[in-house]
Amino acid sequence: MSGAPDREAVFPTRQSLGIMKAKLKGAETGHSLLKRKSEALTKYVLREAWNRICDSEVRSPDLSPKNDADEGIALQKR
């Protein structure tokens, strides 16, 4: 290798400049779409995990953390 950065060999014409600009714009658009997709999938996975945690707390209230204020109210009602 010559140590030069990876570049595409093009002739310096106006037409090739337009082609390269279009390729760059397409690459930027594709990158932003992939980033948005990744963020949406991450949000979805976190939301599903949160829903599973909330559902398990509703089904088994004995395992949910108790609040001191709730215990105080329960003692007053006795």
| % of the chain at pLDDT higher than 90 | 46
DSSP label at 66? P
In whole angstroms, how far apart are CA 44 and each of 2, 30, 34, 39, 51? 46, 21, 15, 9, 10
Check: CB of residue 16 under 8 Å from CB of residue 10: yes
Query: Residue 59 carries which side chain, given as an amino acid letter?
Result: R
Classify 54 as helix, strand or coil: helix
* pLDDT tens per residue across all 78 residues of the chain: 456 678 888 889 999 999 999 999 999 999 999 999 999 999 999 999 998 888 887 766 555 555 555 655 655 665
How does pLDDT run across 24-36, given as a tens digit for each residue?
A: 999 999 999 999 9
Predicted local confidence at residue 55, as pLDDT:
83
Size of the chain in residues: 78
